[in-house]
Structure 1
Amino acid sequence: MNKATINGIQQVGIGVKDANEAWKWYRKIFKMDVPIFQDSAEAALMTRYTAGKVEKRHAILAMNMQGGGGFEIWQFTSRTPTGPAKKISWGDLGILAVKIRCKDIQETYDFMKSEGVHLLGTPSKNPIGVWHFYLKDPYDNVFEIEENQSWFSKNKDLTGGVSGVVIGVTDIEKSVPLYQCIYQHSEVLFNGTKEWEDFAPLTEEQESFSRVILRSSENRTGAFGKLLCQTTVELISVNNSAREKIYKGRLWGDLGFIHVCFDVNGMKTLRANLTDSGFPFTVDSNNGFDMGKAAGHFAYIEDPDGTLVEMVETHKIPIMEKWGWYLDLKKRKQGKTLPNFIVKMLSLNRVKS
């Protein structure tokens, strides 16, 4: 098989000052409690985005086993990460919010409230009739909790993993083809422009936004496609005022949402497709990276506004690390999903809050 497949949103990178502290909060509130890897090393391939200097970092990739993408929690260990020069405005250019799936919106809202989470408004419906609400974590990152029907498995926890991202763009018409065609979120659930009532908790004044919601196919591909579930990419743009890049003047790995990462197969074909579409790889591990116990091929591009999009083709992953069981995915047929029982074994690595 020579075609490229997008298997889902693997993770969203989150830059923090203290990775272990942040992970503890994400375990408690979002149940991101299964570590895929924890690794400390130099980010030697990312100097394009770290001012030409090799920086050291500590990273934790954590998942929620009910389904959805994970968090790649990043902490610089060689420098103090910086925040944005000014308060981020809704509609600025970059990843504005990470969507988290939940089963029952009111029950989840009540739980978050009881835990003292900084809630933004109350539950409401978005333009496609889905109940949702927004919140901020202790590090000023915005998350959107939304009722969702796509799950890998279910337990007593209220939330699952990442169900999508909200990205601020300058021109939606220029951005849609990248996410719809190349990243295979082909279904257009909504496309409209107005002042949105459900955006009210996020904006200081009434403004008109263009808004497109794209969704991936229900057909799951790739070894962990079933775990990653169906996802959405929501693109928004401001019609009446200019917006700034969230990471203007800052480095990859600084505080906030660093990147969105897609799990892929067929990286060489994907590279050709992206190059032909005007989005060449800006970083390429050239078929090799080692994150402690996990390995594979990663690459980055910039979307039309410079937002970083990562792609990872996983070659090796620990299933039961303490027993030395690692899964070699290079030997698997491209696009074939793993049996559920093997994926569920990842939960044996769960870290309790």
Structure 2
Amino acid sequence: MEYVISGIQQVGIGVRDAEEAWTWYRKHFGFDVPIFKDAARASLMTRYTSGIAETRYAILAMNLQGGGGFEIWQYTSKEPVAASAKHVLGDTGIFAVKLKSNNVEQSYQSLKSKGAHVLGKPEKSPDGRMHFFVEDPYGNLFEITEGHSWFKRGTFPNGGVSGVVIGVSDMEKALPLYKNILGHQSVCYDSTQKFSDLENLEGGKDTFRRVLLKVSGPCRGAFGNLLGSTEIELVETKERKPAKIYESRNWGDLGFIHVCFDIRGMKLLAKKCTEVGNAFTVDSSNSFDMGKAAGHFSYIEDPDQTLIEFVETHKLPIIEKLGLFLNIKNRAPEKPLPNWMLGMLSLNRVKD
């Protein structure tokens, strides 16, 4: 047996006001289906919160056209800390979140018409796909990129999270984790040069090594059809020593706090991570309860201490108002949930 990674479940986004941020993400990115809203104390995360069990409020929201969600995360026990300086491409950590689009030009025009801060015009990435970058009101950067993996088409030109852009200090040290543990074995490009499609970003005119990794083969697991194919782009600057995006700040402070993968087989994953010298730094051991959702979560760090979360979902609300929940704890790891069942999540959609 082996563990199964279904895809990116969500990216954690630290904000000052979760409800306000979610309103913006609904209107601009179509993340209008709440999977849960939960207020609790993050007692297991003290390793990353200066030894203090902080309280927080979180909303997990998704765009049901396909892709991962946003875990919109707000401290309720303290004021979140912003970075002391603007992030520069190549700084270590999650620099941008990729959202897939079925029509990049339409996504570009839609965001511009809504007054979003769009950086430059759509251009081709090294693999020939069109893409562009947009910044939310809180300084977080998103890359809208051509995507071909969809669950259910809707009215928004973009879907959910399809990947992340992560700054690394040493590409050769970073690659084994992303390829061998996370299973992104397919190298779409590996190029070192100056890139015209990055010039509108902070520091984007420097020389970089860019490596785009993807999962080869079909999506697997209960939520594979919904989460779809994922990609990880690693970026190493060749002209300076990178800063750390979360230097002197805690998990949960403002920005992209982690990337989370949906998995089955947590014990098998723990064994693999330990064997390769990248043991879990946080482990809920058995089960967590986030309001109406439950499961098992853990964290590891990449060589630059970027946080990667794993969640094995045990219970998920389908129609919370009717008390309808989905229990998948004992489901066969690779067996996908029926599309009609996942589609019922749309009954929770919030309309503005």
Q: Which residue of 1 aligns with 2:143?
A: 144
- Provide the rounded CA distance (Å) in 2 between the counterparts of 1:287 and 1:8: 21
Q: 1:294 to 1:283 in 2, by over 3 A?
A: same
Residue type matched to 2:43 in 1? Answer: A
Q: Which residue of 1 aligns with 2:207?
A: 208
Q: What's the CA shift for 1:240?
A: 1.8
Per-residue CA deviation, residues 76-105 of structure 1 (Å, 9 max, x unaligned), is 000000111111111100000000011111
Q: Which residue of 2 aligns with 1:198?
A: 197
Structure 1 moving runs of 4+ over 6 Å: none
Residue type matched to 1:42 in 2? Answer: R
Trace 1:1-353 onto structure 2 (pairs within 5 A).
Answer: 2-204=1-203, 206-353=205-352
Tell me, which stretches of 5 or more residues in structure 1 are unaligned? none
Per-residue CA deviation, residues 137-189 of structure 1 (Å, 9 max, x unaligned), is 00000000011111111122211000100000011111111111110111110
- Provide the rounded CA distance (Å) in 1 between the counterparts of 2:6 and 2:151: 14
SS in 2 for 1:331: coil
Q: What's the CA shift for 1:22?
A: 0.1
Q: 1:279 to 1:265 in 2, by over 3 A?
A: same
Per-residue CA deviation, residues 107-153 of structure 1 (Å, 9 max, x unaligned), is 11011100000010110000000000001000000000011111111
Residue type matched to 1:45 in 2? Answer: L
- Provide the rounded CA distance (Å) in 2 between the counterparts of 1:53 and 1:99: 32
Per-residue CA deviation, residues 215-248 of structure 1 (Å, 9 max, x unaligned), is 1134121111100000100000011210111001
- Provide the rounded CA distance (Å) in 1 between the counterparts of 2:282 and 2:204: 38
**What do you get for the CA RMSD once the two structures are aligned?**
0.8
SS in 2 for 1:287: coil
Residue type matched to 2:292 in 1? Answer: K
Tell me, which stretches of 5 or more residues in structure 2 are unaligned? none
Q: What's the CA shift for 1:352?
A: 1.1
Residue type matched to 1:328 in 2? Answer: N
User: Mean alpha-carbon deviation: is it higher for 204-213 or for 174-183?
Assistant: 204-213
SS in 1 for 2:329: helix
Residue type matched to 1:191 in 2? Answer: D
Q: How does the TM-score come out when normalised to structure 1?
A: 0.98
Residue identity over aligned pairs, in percent, reads 56
Q: 1:205 to 1:232 in 2, by over 3 A?
A: closer
- Provide the rounded CA distance (Å) in 1 between the counterparts of 2:87 and 2:202: 10
Q: How does the TM-score come out when normalised to structure 2?
A: 0.99
SS in 2 for 1:312: strand
8 Å contact kept, 2:134–2:141: yes
- Provide the rounded CA distance (Å) in 2 between the counterparts of 1:126 and 1:8: 22
